[in-house]
Amino acid sequence: MSYEVQIVDEPGRHLAVTRYSARPEEMGRLVGQAFGTVMAYLSSKGINPSGPAVSYYTMVGDHFDVTSGFLVDAPIEGDRTVVPLQLPAGPVATTTHIGPYQDLGKAYEALQESARQRGLLVDTAGPMWEEYWSGPETAPEQTRTTVFWPVQVAPS
Domain containing 124 — which CATH number? Answer: 3.20.80.10
Q: 108 lies in a domain?
A: yes
Scored b (16 or more CB within 10 A) or e, 137-156 reads eeeeeebebbbbbbbeeeee
Q: 29 lies in a domain?
A: yes
Over residues 71-127, the pLDDT tens digits come to 999 999 999 999 999 999 999 999 999 999 889 999 999 999 999 999 999 988 889
Confidence at residue 130, expressed as pLDDT on a 0 to 100 scale? 96
Alpha-helical regions (H) of 58-97: none
Confidence at residue 110, expressed as pLDDT on a 0 to 100 scale? 97
Q: 51 lies in a domain?
A: yes
Q: 1 lies in a domain?
A: no
Q: What is the mean pLDDT of residues 134-149?
A: 93
Residue-range definition of the domain harbouring residue 46: 6-153
pTM value > 0.75? yes
Domain count, the chain: 1
Q: 45 lies in a domain?
A: yes
Q: Which of 147, 143, 78 is nearest to 111 (CA)?
A: 147
